[in-house]
Amino acid sequence: MAMTMLAGIVGLIHPLSEAAAKNLNVMASTEDLAALAREVGGQHAQVDSIARGYQDPHYVEAKPSFLLKLQKADLLIVVGLELEIGWLPPLITQSRNARIQPGANGYLDASSVAEILEKPSGPVTRAMGDVHPLGNPHYWLDPENGRRIAKAIADKLAEMDPEDAAYFSQRYQDFDRRLQEADTRWLQDMAPLKGIEVITYHNSWPSFTEHFGLRVGGFVEPKPGIPPTPAHTLEVINQIKKDQIKLILVEPYFDLKTPNAIAQQTGAKVLVMMPSVGGAPEIKDYLQLFDYNIRLLKAAFSGQK
């Protein structure tokens, strides 16, 4: 007993195995990227995020506390494609943290490794306030992109902390295996919904719908970032009637007034889907994000039949 205690005390004074271990300070712009960083970083990365999962990631109110978080970060992971353009760039500049400035070693733009849909073919414009000028920035909603992002983070962590490279690689492989198992299950669950057409409020879901075989017939917003107009709402109503669309997917941070009005006119059902980890208290990690939304879709669809 006394020996065990003594060994414990000695262990505290000389934590031999942990003596050389680093603990990288990782900051992510969103909870989704933070969740992926936690999967691969394990106990060798202290991970935090700025935007909360129930917030619209295009519009996040900058707080002084964000600046403090950025000042101590070794690595900053961003979604990119101008998703955070309205709030993150000034914070990065003001942090005066050279490690995480764009182009620095501690700046990781996850869009550089993901498959991006709706990339503009012509010159880039922000016509009518379109907030997706460089392609669709909601790409983390395809599990395949989640895998790619996790791999990129594991590689970056290994580069910054080479002594723990094998640890990060093993964590990534474990995540990859669990993700593949879960994806097989999700695809089975979604099989009965294959090919069905949905309306979504914002254009948040193309990566998700492509992976799981749904079709997006239109949007409640006339353009990404532009609030509904009466004329456009009428078009959506007509289209739902014509195509017999049954579901309207709405992100949690939008007003339900217009979707509910459309539902009332058409008989379609409004479903509040979570685009991010942390959107609901039970969505604590990346796999739970898909578990949640697929459960919701399955229930709504079986309720329709």
- Site residues for Zn ion per CB under 5 A: 224
Closest CB 164 distance from Zn ion, rounded Å:
35
Closest CB 225 distance from Zn ion, rounded Å:
7
Nearer residue to Zn ion within complex by CB, 135 or 224: 224
Output the 3-class SS for the chain.
CHHHHHHHHHHHHCCCCCCCCCCEEEEECCHHHHHHHHHHHHHHEEEEECCCCCCCCCCCCCCHHHHHHHHCCCEEEECCCCCCCCCHHHHHHHHCCHHHCCCCCCEEEHHHCCCCCCCCCCCCCCHHHCCCECECCCHHHCHHHHHHHHHHHHHHHHHHCHHHHHHHHHHHHHHHHHHHHHHHHHHHHHHHHCCCEEEECCCCCHHHHHHHCCEEEEECCCECCECCCHHHHHHHHHHHHHHCCCEEEECCCCCCHHHHHHHHHHCCEEEECCCCCCCCCCCCCHHHHHHHHHHHHHHHHHHHC
Nearer residue to Zn ion within complex by CB, 173 or 229: 229
Nearer residue to Zn ion within complex by CB, 224 or 259: 224
Please say whether the beta carbons of 259 and 281 come within 8 A.
no
Nearer residue to Zn ion within complex by CB, 96 or 126: 126
Nearer residue to Zn ion within complex by CB, 4 or 125: 125
The C-alpha atoms of residue 152 and residue 172 are separated, in whole angstroms, by: 10
Nearer residue to Zn ion within complex by CB, 161 or 251: 251
Closest CB 209 distance from Zn ion, rounded Å:
14
Closest CB 214 distance from Zn ion, rounded Å:
18
Rg (CA), the chain: 22
Closest CB 142 distance from Zn ion, rounded Å:
15
Distance set, CA 147 to CA 36, 99, 110, 304 (Å): 9, 25, 11, 33
Closest CB 15 distance from Zn ion, rounded Å:
45
Residue whose beta carbon is closest to Zn ion: 224
Closest CB 58 distance from Zn ion, rounded Å:
5
Nearer residue to Zn ion within complex by CB, 115 or 155: 115
Nearer residue to Zn ion within complex by CB, 224 or 278: 224
Closest CB 83 distance from Zn ion, rounded Å:
7
